[in-house]
Amino acid sequence: MLPAIQSSISGVRAFGKKLDVHADNIANAETDGFKKSRTVLSNEETTGVRADIQKVDTPGPPNPDAIEDPTAEKERSNVDLVAEITETIPTTIGYKANLKTVQVEDEMLGSLLDAIG
């Protein structure tokens, strides 16, 4: 596989995984006791981009329902919806940029093969 396509495909996968983590965090923002996750992107010399998912164990705000109901979770989710939704913007842009690179590389290869053939 060509290095430009390989690098861009790894970027698409990494940013896709990051979008999945944001979606999971947003979906569980109102779930008491839920701990959000973060995706850390790192540069891999031979394969492009790697996405590592880490759990964020900071405590959420106290759950007022736990005072009346001892079976309820003692804290709410530690997800900040504003931060999660805001962080999806650059993640989406990174996903689209890598996808566009794959598309352009595919078009260039097609044109090159048409010219040769």
Angle between helical axes of 81-116 and 3-27 (0-180°, round to 10)? 160
112 is a domain residue: no
117 is a domain residue: no
86 is a domain residue: yes
How many domains are contained in the chain?
1
- Residues 6+ away with beta carbon under 8 Å from 13: 49, 51
Check: pTM over 0.85? Answer yes or no: no
CA dist., res. 103 & res. 109, Å (int)? 10
Which residues constitute the domain of residue 69? 3-102
Tens-digit pLDDT profile for residues 19-75: 999 999 999 999 999 999 999 999 987 778 899 999 999 999 988 887 787 777 889
Q: CB count, 10 Å around CB of 51?
A: 18
Q: Which residues pair with 43 in a beta bridge?
A: 49
76 is a domain residue: yes
**Residue labelled with tokens 């596989």:** 1
